[in-house]
Structure 1
Amino acid sequence: MKRRIPALLLALLVTQLGALVNPAYACGCGAMVPDGQSRLGVDRETSVVRWDGHSEQIVMRFTVRGDAQRAAWIMPVPGRATVELGDGDMFGALRDLTRPERKARYYFWPRDRDWPFSADRDDLVGDAPLRPGDAAVGVVGREQLGDFDVARLTATDPNALKAWLETNGFTLPDRLAAEVQPYVDQRWEYVAVRLAPHHQGTVLRGELDPLKIRFDSDRLVYPMRLSRMAKTPQSLGLYVLADHRMEPASTIGGSAPKVTFAGSVHPKDGPIAELAGGKPVFLTAIDQEFPEPGRIDADHELRATAEDTPYRRAVYHNELLTVGPGIPVWLLTVTAALVALAGACFALVRRRSRSRRRLRLRLREDGAA
């Protein structure tokens, strides 16, 4: 089942109302884990990252399907994090900003649905750290944000982290303790999230409310190492707002990242302007595929490119080449060619006719002599 996971999503857990349960990895992908025997698939995960050289903000939203009423996940972060609900309008605004440019691609000869074959037109689409204290697990804070129960944690022992989560309604796979060890060694912190709608019986489906996470960081890092636990191919979609065009320092085991948009933007108002602090920023949109998640060997670290080269995709619609009030150029060309051919033929006939008349006159004169 296809799922998109950001680097921030690193291990996902399971909860059940008021009691511990064994996680059912129904989606088979290691991303978002539902409760009990429910099924939950992430059709798309979209993340927006704002980095100003000192702090990082991430706004993420999941589009899910299935029959699960509850699910959970945990995300390592390199510093003390704050969490709040994000603005869902941001994603629509970003879609508008990065929308492919529409261009016309002209062709000369008529096609199947062009006159005289048909009056219809056929448009085709082309390419165009805060250090933890003495306790093995510290609770920095816990908030209820809409349908999210959010716990912000520190940990010096991955097994202690697993035990705390289980005691508080999360169930973790045994393998996660080993995968979290590198983050414990680096003294990262954790954001654990449980998703449970307020209305009992409501299924997690469609677009969930976005979450906004902020932490201090002197480098733009996008945690992805725990996504190696996934069972099926992964796909990452990322909007990056920074001072310059950004790119991943390496592929970290995935395919080559693809830039789908790059350019300076200066939104005057709205959620993007708020995230950018009211300043002009460079927006880079990146897509990357991970056909074999087990090969993911690091977190993404993004760096500025040598040049802030703008880029925008193009979507082409094919049009028949016309002039004036929609007159096909091919028709004018063919008509002109036929007129010229007719004129040449007429001139040739006249020339031959004159030649014959001169010949007859000459013969008459010779006979009279």
Structure 2
Amino acid sequence: MTGTRGLWRRALLVALALVALQLGSLVAPAYACGCGAMVPQSGRQLSVRQETSAVRWDGRSEQIVMRLTVDGNAPRAAWIMPVPSRATVKLGDRHLFDQLEEISAPVHRTRSYFWPKDGDWPFAEDRSVGDGAPRAAAKPPVEVVGRERLGPFDVARLTATDPTALRDWLAHNGFELPQALATELRPYVDQKWEYVAIRLAPDQVGQTLGGPLDPLSLTFASDRPVYPMRLSRLARTPQTLNLYLLGTHRMETASAIGGYEPQTLFAGRVTHPGGALGDLTGQAPSVYVTALTQYFAQPSKITGDHEIRQAPTDTPFQRAWYTEELMTVGGAPAWLVTVVGGALVVAAGAGLTVWRLRARRVAPAPYRNAV
């Protein structure tokens, strides 16, 4: 009887834990992502698991190609992206990031070591280690300057003079804009930026958003490259931003804007890029690719947008994965050859010394004539 009561008690505790977990996911939806704001339907959850963007600037215009990977149970969501001027929006090439990832991947190198480690004879497993903006004219209170359907995206390009206008537009489309997000939009409104509002919806009725979405490409006039990040202040979990910066020289961010210092994963010139990268760069004879990653442990400390600038030098950099191999001589471990050879030399020296000492002891005394 006691055992039965224990089983029922454990089952009840598990059920209560599952209910608490589900309620927590409903009352705390994630709606902030790296360079914009993700707004799911009320009572639904949607989070951006990974965000990767390629940024190209030619001195007059900027292009951002973004790929989001999302998790959650929302059948629809909206995403807000501030831009400094009128933007054109289209679907990006899904092969672009595969190509950039291949270009910036670590190279494999081999380095030798002298003394044996665990896994080497006479110890006993192989081991590898790794090294490691133009101001746009305002048209109050809100204006839809363009709208199109691109794959799973319903894209509306808006101008507004007050964050309330954006909240109203979203409300009319079945979404509620959090008050805090409206507050964070105020600096963009003051600078007379415009907005790209995007509705995400699965291709089939009844599906929920999940997994990698098709890349989206935004192009706008800009006299300096910038990557909007201010809205990520609202993120409730740590954020990771991955950026590919494309230009004629090596690029960098002007500051950390409240996150850890951006880490360089790759920097180098790619000649005659083909495929999706060639299409993005207009088949330029070469493009300098800089791959950065940055971690924001406390997104609330983000101070503004990333300003992107040319680095002081074009010094290339590439990560390397090293496979360590035991140094050998003629197929034999070098340490063993050295130790055995040294032992033989020492033994030979010792033998020679002993032989000389014995030779001195047995040598006959010099002969002398008697007087």
> Normalised by the size of structure 2, how large is the TM-score?
0.85
The counterpart of 2:233, out of the listed 228, 236, 240, is 228
* Aligned: 1:311 with 2:314: no
**Which residue in the other structure is 1:8 paired with?**
none
Confirm or deny: 8 A CA contact 2:247 2:289 kept in the other structure: yes
Tell me the matched-pair count.
340
Report deviation, 1:323: 3.1
For residues 74 and 143 of structure 1, the distance between their equivalents in structure 2, rounded to whole angstroms, comes to: 15
Report deviation, 1:111: 0.9
The counterpart of 2:210, out of the listed 201, 205, 208, is 205
**Which residue in the other structure is 1:71 paired with?**
77
For residues 308 and 264 of structure 1, the distance between their equivalents in structure 2, rounded to whole angstroms, comes to: 9
Secondary structure of the structure 1 residue equivalent to 2:233: helix
Compared CA separation, residues 233 and 94, structure 1 to 2 (3 A): same
Report deviation, 1:260: 1.8
Report deviation, 1:141: 1.2
For residues 302 and 45 of structure 1, the distance between their equivalents in structure 2, rounded to whole angstroms, comes to: 18
> Normalised by the size of structure 1, how large is the TM-score?
0.85
* Aligned: 1:35 with 2:38: no
**Which residue in the other structure is 2:306 paired with?**
300
Secondary structure of the structure 2 residue equivalent to 1:114: coil
Confirm or deny: 8 A CA contact 2:41 2:174 kept in the other structure: no
1:292-338 Cα offsets, whole Å, 9 max, x none, are 222222211111122222222222222211234x3211111112112
Compared CA separation, residues 168 and 37, structure 1 to 2 (3 A): closer
Secondary structure of the structure 2 residue equivalent to 1:298: coil
One-letter amino acid of the structure 2 residue matched with residue 131 of structure 1: A
The counterpart of 1:117, out of the listed 123, 128, 135, is 123
One-letter amino acid of the structure 2 residue matched with residue 320 of structure 1: L
Secondary structure of the structure 1 residue equivalent to 2:277: helix
For residues 170 and 306 of structure 1, the distance between their equivalents in structure 2, rounded to whole angstroms, comes to: 45
> For the aligned residues, what is the CA RMSD?
2.3
Compared CA separation, residues 161 and 41, structure 1 to 2 (3 A): closer
The counterpart of 2:114, out of the listed 108, 119, 129, is 108
Alignment of 1:1-369 (within 5 A): 25-27=28-30, 31-118=37-124, 120-127=125-132, 129-133=135-139, 135-279=140-284, 280-324=286-330, 326-358=331-363, 361-362=364-365
Confirm or deny: 8 A CA contact 1:24 1:33 kept in the other structure: no
For residues 61 and 233 of structure 2, the distance between their equivalents in structure 1, rounded to whole angstroms, comes to: 26
Listed as ranges, the gaps of 5+ residues in structure 1 are 1-22
Secondary structure of the structure 2 residue equivalent to 1:154: strand
One-letter amino acid of the structure 1 residue matched with residue 107 of structure 2: E
Secondary structure of the structure 2 residue equivalent to 1:353: helix
For residues 260 and 271 of structure 1, the distance between their equivalents in structure 2, rounded to whole angstroms, comes to: 20
Report deviation, 1:121: 2.5
For residues 156 and 170 of structure 2, the distance between their equivalents in structure 1, rounded to whole angstroms, comes to: 9
Confirm or deny: 8 A CA contact 2:242 2:293 kept in the other structure: yes
Compared CA separation, residues 51 and 136, structure 1 to 2 (3 A): same
Listed as ranges, the gaps of 5+ residues in structure 2 are 1-25
For residues 287 and 227 of structure 2, the distance between their equivalents in structure 1, rounded to whole angstroms, comes to: 19
Report deviation, 1:47: 0.5
Confirm or deny: 8 A CA contact 2:39 2:177 kept in the other structure: no
Confirm or deny: 8 A CA contact 1:260 1:287 kept in the other structure: yes
Secondary structure of the structure 1 residue equivalent to 2:314: coil
Confirm or deny: 8 A CA contact 2:42 2:176 kept in the other structure: no
One-letter amino acid of the structure 1 residue matched with residue 322 of structure 2: Y
Report deviation, 1:265: 1.4
Q: How many percent identity over aligned positions?
A: 52
Report deviation, 1:130: 4.1
For residues 47 and 24 of structure 1, the distance between their equivalents in structure 2, rounded to whole angstroms, comes to: 30
For residues 345 and 172 of structure 1, the distance between their equivalents in structure 2, rounded to whole angstroms, comes to: 88
Confirm or deny: 8 A CA contact 1:140 1:152 kept in the other structure: yes
Report deviation, 1:29: 5.3
Report deviation, 1:89: 0.9
More displaced stretch, 338-347 vs 71-80 = 338-347
